[in-house]
Amino acid sequence: MRRALAFALFALMAALAQKPVVATIRPYGLLLRELAGGRLEVAVLVPPSANPHVYEPTPAQVRQVAGARLVVANGAGLDGWVVDKVVRPNALGTPIFFLAEHTGEPLLTTPTGPDPHVWLDPLRVAGALPALAEALAQADPQGAALYRTRAVRLRAELERLDQEMRGLLAERKRPGVITLRNPFRYFTARYGVPILYTIVPNPEAPEATAKAAAEAKKVAQEKGIRHVLAPLAAKGQALPLAQNLGLEAILADVLGEEAKTYPELVRKVAEAFAQALR
């Protein structure tokens, strides 16, 4: 009898241990892996190069969210589909943490609503880490001390990274940047980099118009700009467009497709800006 109870308890603990934490986008998957320290399985819903603004979750991902301890989403209009298409239609009770609501700073606004790309500002993310650690602690109380300790450590690392990037961006030969699309507002607002022109300002618009391309070329000639800064996910659009404009495309990995950690993601974005400003 005791052996059977012990086996049942072991099976229950094993089942609980297998419950993942789920991130809607890879930047938050990277954050979760750093905070969990291998204690929890981390899954990411939006695959590389997919558009998180208009993503359609699969039935398998609905089941994944249903079995998760916690979902970490961005909020601010980026990934509301996790509620509208996954949680609410299936009456799921999985808790959701919206990081954009916990940065301690007001959201930037655009003509169509709040700008959701808060993860490109490392200090905003640093400000949200204590609340994220507490959300993880509620989802897994036995790991609470680990999550809180790692959140403090990561916050200090991001504050050091902020200073490093300010030094990297301090010397500029160009007055600003031309961007293909603009997930960069939080980054440029934090580090004082002017965006001179955005060719496709609507994140859901598929292509650049001839009028916008002509205006970008005019701005580049007037301001001495040699590059177009574009998200890595828009590589297929950015390379031929830049060539047609007589410019060079610089690709910024804003979704962390090639990054192994969140600090690496932000550092690589800063390096892309530094190259565009030289």
Say which CATH number the domain at 120 has. Answer: 3.40.50.1980
Measured between alpha carbons, how far apart are the two ends of the chain, in Å? Answer: 73
Task: Say whether pLDDT at 136 is over 80.
Answer: yes
Q: For residues 126 and 102, what is the distance between their CA atoms, to the nearest angstrom?
A: 10
Q: For residues 191 and 193, what is the distance between their CA atoms, to the nearest angstrom?
A: 6
Same domain (yes/no): 239, 149: no
**Stated pTM of the model:** 0.90
Rounded to whole angstroms, what are the CA distances from 201 to 182, 258, 276?
6, 25, 19
What's residue 202's pLDDT? 80
Same domain (yes/no): 137, 260: no
Same domain (yes/no): 25, 161: yes
Same domain (yes/no): 148, 192: no
Q: Identify which has the larger pLDDT, 118 or 14.
A: 118
Same domain (yes/no): 150, 175: no
- State which amino acid sits at residue 166: R
Same domain (yes/no): 154, 184: no
Buried b (16+ CB within 10 A) or exposed e, 98-128: bbbebbeeebbeeeeebbbbbbbbbbbbbbb
- State which amino acid sits at residue 242: A
Q: For residues 185 and 113, what is the distance between their CA atoms, to the nearest angstrom?
A: 13
Average pLDDT across the chain, whole number: 92
User: For the chain, how many residues are written?
Assistant: 278
Query: What domain range includes position 113?
Result: 2-165
